[in-house]
């Protein structure tokens, strides 16, 4: 139906009278409020309507509790390991150092969380230097987040890639 939208516009006007449908010899469908020879009287369902909302000028009188203002950290930077660093550690120990401004607000329950290879590590770090032990050899990504008591991330460093070299027991000199 090519011109169905036109029919939708005139249907309310046509509701007052009968609607007739006919087909011309070239196949064009014709709707009319006048009976034409060979036209069929069709039933048009009432148009669904929704009453408009009534505007109100009433304001809510319920007081709104001000949210506790979240401290704003200006930046957090991953100092160590540097991006694309090669670390030689047979024990698999990696030292992570960060710098945040302002300093970590641990009295408010904030803490650092280390994200190694996309997974948060279970550690409650409150110092700016953290040690990871027994990290497997190979290439890793690391980032550090500052989270609040509800574990909401307040700020996050960009991820750094590092490569850990550990001697294999298979290659003993």
Pairing of strands 19-23, 29-32: antiparallel
Domain chopping of the chain, boundaries: 4-42, 75-171
> H or E element: which one contains 11?
helix 4-14
Q: Model confidence over 54-72: pLDDT tens digits?
A: 665 555 555 555 555 555 7
φ/ψ of residue 50, rounded to 5: -120, 130
> Tokens in use for 88?
């030689």
Confidence bin at 45 (pLDDT 50/70/90): confident
Q: Model confidence over 125-142: pLDDT tens digits?
A: 888 899 998 899 999 999
| Rounded distance between C-alpha atoms, residue 45 and residue 29, angstroms | 19
Q: Model confidence over 154-172: pLDDT tens digits?
A: 999 999 999 999 887 666 6
The set of residues, in sequence order, having a beta carbon less than 8 Å from that of 139 and lying 6+ positions away, is 161, 162, 163, 164
Instruction: Provide the whole-model pTM.
Output: 0.57
Greatest Cα pair distance, the chain, in angstroms, is 106
Between 72 and 113, whose confidence is greater?
113
Sheet holding 75-80, edge to edge: 75-80, 94-101, 129-132
Between 52 and 155, whose confidence is greater?
155
φ/ψ of residue 113, rounded to 5: -125, 130
| pLDDT for residue 49 is more than 90 | no
Q: DSSP readout, 108-160?
A: GT-EEEEEETTEE----B-SSEEEE-SPPSEEEEEEEEEE-TT--EEEEPPPE
The set of residues, in sequence order, having a beta carbon less than 8 Å from that of 145 and lying 6+ positions away, is 112, 113, 115, 120, 153, 154, 155, 156, 157
- What's the confidence (pLDDT) of residue 138? 93
- What's the confidence (pLDDT) of residue 14? 46
Q: Model confidence over 69-98: pLDDT tens digits?
A: 555 799 999 999 999 999 999 889 999 999
Q: What is the mean pLDDT of the chain?
A: 81
Superfamily of structural domain 75-171: Immunoglobulins (2.60.40.10)
């Amino acid at each position: 139906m090519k011109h169905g939208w036109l029919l939708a516009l005139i249907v309310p006007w046509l509701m007052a009278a009968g609607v007739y449908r006919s087909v011309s010899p070239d196949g064009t469908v014709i709707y009319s409020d006048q009976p034409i020879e060979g036209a069929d009287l069709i039933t048009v369902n009432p148009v669904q309507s929704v009453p408009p909302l009534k505007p109100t000028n009433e304001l809510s009188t319920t007081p709104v509790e001000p949210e506790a203002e979240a401290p704003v950290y200006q930046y957090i930077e991953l100092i160590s390991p540097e991006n694309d660093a090669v670390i030689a550690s047979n024990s698999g120990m990696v030292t992570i150092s960060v710098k945040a401004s302002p300093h970590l607000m641990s009295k408010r329950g904030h803490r650092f969380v280390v994200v190694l290879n996309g997974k948060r590590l279970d550690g409650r770090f409150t110092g700016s230097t953290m040690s990871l032990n027994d990290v497997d050899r190979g290439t890793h990504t690391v980032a550090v987040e500052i989270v609040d008591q509800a574990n909401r991330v307040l700020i996050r460093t960009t991820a750094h890639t590092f490569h850990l070299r550990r001697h294999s027991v298979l290659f003993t000199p």
